[in-house]
């Protein structure tokens, strides 16, 4: 991957993580331990990327990949948790609602937005793309040949 593209992807990842972090803080997404998971992962991905930028080592790439994979898992879990919370609320309002009307009401709910945690999935995927075939993963001999 072109180094300029890699730097641009890094900037997008940092900006996206920082923006999502601020948004979650503004929404008081820190009421319990489960809600802290995305906040911790967003800080961790920025730190992993900083370490990789300052010291491009195989271990730094692996840290970014691990954090990115955890972000994907956390985002998927978040979608499930948001969906369940919305579904319980809708069923409290109308216990006799049909499956499809319930499904659509759950997806359209604004608090919590059912698909919002998908942003974590996107950032995690971006981190994996960024770390794919990273130069720090190749052996020192290969790095000298390509540079």
| Beta-carbon contacts of residue 81 (< 8 Å; ≥ 6 apart) | 34, 117
Q: Is the pTM of this model over 0.75?
A: yes
Over residues 34-67, the pLDDT tens digits come to 999 999 999 999 999 999 999 999 999 999 999 9
Question: Does 72 have pLDDT greater than 60?
Answer: yes
- Pick from 2, 5, 23: nearest CA to 126: 5
Confidence of residue 129 (pLDDT cuts 50, 70, 90): very high
Task: Check the CA dihedral 42-9-72-109 and report its sign.
Answer: positive
Distance between CA atoms of 48 and 130, rounded to whole angstroms? 12
Could you tell me how far CA 90 lies from the centroid of its own chain? 27
Question: What token pair was written down for 136?
Answer: 């720090």
The confidence score (pLDDT) of residue 145 equals: 44
Strands (E), the chain: none
DSSP state for residue 14 in the 8-state scheme: H
Q: Look at the block and give the residue holding tokens 């072109």.
A: 2
């Amino acid at each position: 991957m072109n180094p300029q593209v890699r730097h641009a992807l890094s900037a997008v990842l940092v900006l996206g993580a920082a923006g999502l972090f601020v948004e979650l803080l503004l929404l008081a997404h820190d009421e319990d331990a489960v809600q802290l998971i995305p906040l911790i992962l967003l800080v961790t991905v920025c730190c992993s990327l900083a370490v990789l930028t300052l010291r491009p080592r195989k271990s730094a790439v692996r840290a970014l990949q691990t954090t990115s994979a955890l972000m994907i898992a956390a985002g998927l879990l978040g979608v499930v948790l948001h969906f369940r919370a919305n579904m319980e609320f809708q069923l409290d309002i109308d216990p006799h609602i049909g499956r499809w009307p319930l499904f659509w009401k759950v997806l359209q709910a604004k608090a919590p937005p059912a698909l919002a945690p998908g942003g974590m999935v996107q950032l995690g995927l971006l981190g994996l793309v960024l770390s794919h075939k990273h130069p720090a993963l190749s052996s020192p001999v290969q790095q000298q040949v390509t540079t």
